Chain A
Amino acid sequence: MYNGWKIIIGLIIFVGLITAPFIFSGKKATAKPDPKVDTPEILKLPESERKCVESKEFMKREHMKLLNQWRDWVVRDGDTIYTNVEGKRYTISLQNTCMKCHSNKTKFCDECHNYAAVSPYCWDCHIAPKEKKS
């Protein structure tokens, strides 16, 4: 092999560089997101009414699509009442319906959004509920 030692040193440096992030970050994985739904507003509700506009599973998977549709319905069509699967009616509003219960934006929205590295621009305009720093 011509210049074998140069190639081998180069290879060692190369392998070192690409494995460095894995070695130095160690095995500690980023903490799993744990969105909290224990806001005072939710705890005030009787147990039977502690439900979101749709089921927990639906909201987990589809909330972004629902919010997208909500905004089109309100802003573009002027329809402000949403009737869910159970026939219960809600005013369509992020600030006045969603965040009235989920008044913990940092522990509810940001928890997963940060983990998934998504940054929706809702809060550039919509006013997040005022949270007490704990």
Chain B
Amino acid sequence: MSMDRREFLKIAGISTILGIGGISVVNSLRNLVEASQISPNPEALKAKRWAMVVDMSKFKTDEDYQRCINACHRAHNVPEIVGNPKHEVKWLWKETYEHAFPGTEDEYLSEGIKHLPFLLLCNHCANPPCVRVCPTKATFKRKSDGIVMMDMHRCIGCRFCMAACPYGARSFNWRDPRPFIDTAKENLEFPTRTKGVVEKCTFCYERLAKGLRPACVEESKGALIFGDIEDPNSEVRKVLSSRYSFRRRPELGTQPSVYYIL
């Protein structure tokens, strides 16, 4: 059988097109099969980007802070390491205004504000420096809802993220945390951490997946407002549009998702 060049190019062209088309059909079928295996919980709370407003006017007594902190730390089996302050592990903690908002302390700032303990946590920045420096992608920003997550399975304990975080929101497990967790108060539904990993607040991703709000928000009696910052009708946006708010170190361009109102 003889074939001229024109004939040959025609057949070659058609078979290439068929081949490429065939691959894409097979691929889309395979994706369908694999995607049917897993799905998000339909009851899960969803948002484009989660944010929190801390209403400092509602924190009056020490008990108001402690209630939120305890709720968080118990829900996530955060160890209580006393003694060496460098070994301390914290997800949600108190800090004075001058330490939480460095560079904004005016000379004649009222004593009440200057020493007012602010409730601090991971800011879940829109532009998180910790994620940029993580060599293993153990900490990453969830595309679905903007939470800066920790994957403890991948963390190698290099602590680059701790150096990168301008808010001191990350704690390193210098010691095995297990002996410092009260077994009576331990949450058996959540893991602990191991020695040599970095941990921080995760906006209670495990509770959001079940349709629950973060543990601290539920215990705060309205002092912590949680919602979708990109939804103009959300509770956080309503509060932010009606009251003056400020964030920690906005000049760094990290775009924190935690707002403070006085």
Contacts and interface: CB of A to CB of B under 8 A. Distances in A.
A80 B40 CA distance: 5
B153 interface: yes
Contacts of B153: 71, 75
Contacts of A96: 189
Interface SS, A side? mixed
Contacts of B186: 127
B40 A125 contact: no
Interface residue range, chain B: 20 to 34
Interface string B145-168: 100010111000000000000000
Nearest to B193: A125
A79 B144 CA distance: 11
A82 B151 contact: no
B209 interface: yes
A78 B151 CA distance: 12
The CB with the most chain B CB atoms within 10 A, among A77, A96, A124, is that of A124
Interface string B28-47: 00000000111111001000
Contacts of A80: 40-41, 44, 209-210
B149 A81 contact: no
Interface of A: 71, 73, 75-83, 91-92, 95-96, 121, 124-127, 129
